[in-house]
Amino acid sequence: MNAENTQSQMRKGILEFCILSILKEQEAYPSEIIEKLMDAKLIVVEGTLYPLLTRLKNMELLTYRWEESPSGPPRKYFRLTPAGELFLGELSRTWEELKNAVNKIAKNV
């Protein structure tokens, strides 16, 4: 197993967590989510987002509605479902635990 693969696996899990966190604040369409993720340097190319959004939607953690855009094609506005909020709560707890654990262990390395 090389580092690249591990990194991509780690990033993927964290990405889902981040997408859900962004949508917790307010509903958003893909470009807005992408902007925030790019600012945080979490993703490099936009394409990454779409499979994740579809996957989260199929898991019924997200839902969406269509809205006309003043320019260009209509937009899909995503938001959390109640199940999504529960899921995010659990992820947050896990994240806190992991962060503490990693900080503790990684410092000692």
Partner 1 sequence: MKKTITIHIKGIPFNIEEEAYESLQRYLERLEQKLGRTQGSQEILEDIELRIAEILSENIQNELNQVVQQIHIDEVIKMMGEPEDYIDESTHTNESERVQNAETVYDKKLFRDMENASIAGVCAGLSQYFKVDLILIRVLFVLILLFGGFALPLYIILWIVIPKAQSHVDRLKMRGKPINFETVRDEVEAAAKKMADQGEKWSRNLHRETQFQRGMNALARVMRAVLGIVLLFVGISSFIGFLTIIVFQLNTFPVSDEMGMYNLYEFTELFYGHAVELSWAWIVGGILASLIVLFFIITGLKLIFNMNIKGNKYITRTAIVSAILFVILSFYMGTRLASQYTFQGEEERMLTFQADDLSIKVGTIDTINQRQGYEVRTKKQRRLWMEEKNGRLHHPVNRFRFEASPDSAFHLWIYTSSQGKSQKIAFQNARNIQFSAHLKDNQLFLADAFSFPKQDLFRGQDVEVTLQIPDGKSVNINGQPLSLTPKTEEIPMQQKKKTVYIDWEGDIEIYD
- What are the residues binding partner 1 (CB under 8 A)? 8-9, 12, 30-31, 44-48, 50-55, 57-58, 69, 71-76
Check: CB of residue 31 under 8 Å from CB of residue 51: no
How many Cβ atoms from other residues are within 10 Å of residue 28's Cβ?
A: 19
Q: Which is nearer to partner 1, 25 or 68 (CB)?
A: 68
In angstroms, give the least distance from the CB of 33 to partner 1: 11
In angstroms, give the least distance from the CB of 91 to partner 1: 17
Residue 63's φ and ψ, nearest 5 degrees, are: -140, 170
Check: CB of residue 81 under 8 Å from CB of residue 75: no
In angstroms, give the least distance from the CB of 16 to partner 1: 10
